[in-house]
Amino acid sequence: MVGGLDKPERTYSAEYDTIHVFESIETTEDEVQQLLRALRSGRMPYQQLVCDTNPGSERHWLNMRA
C-alpha cells in the first residue's frame, strides 16, 4: 500500500509490518510516532519503520534523535 500523510488520521486504525517514509525531514515527530503505533500487523516476523531524507537543520528533531 502507498499512502501519504496529507490526512494522518487515516493511519490511526491501520496495521502495517513495514512503513517507508520518504523525505522524513517534512514530517513531525508526532506523525512518526503515530506511524510507529501502526506497526502492529504481525503478519511478518518483524516490523520496521524506514525513514530517508536529505540533510536538514542540525536542530531538526530527526537529527536530535540520531
Question: Domain map of the chain by residue range?
Answer: 16-45
Kindly report, residue by residue over 13-66, the tens digit of the pLDDT.
Answer: 889 999 999 999 999 999 999 999 999 999 999 999 999 998 888 899 998 887
Q: Which pLDDT belongs to residue 30? A: 92
C-alpha cell at 61: 528533531
What is the spatial distance between Cα 56 and Cα 24, in angstroms, rounded to a whole number? Answer: 10
- What pLDDT does 17 receive? 94
> With bands split at pLDDT 50, 70 and 90, how would you rate the model's confidence at 6?
confident
How many residues comprise the chain? 66
Is the pLDDT confidence value at 1 over 70? no
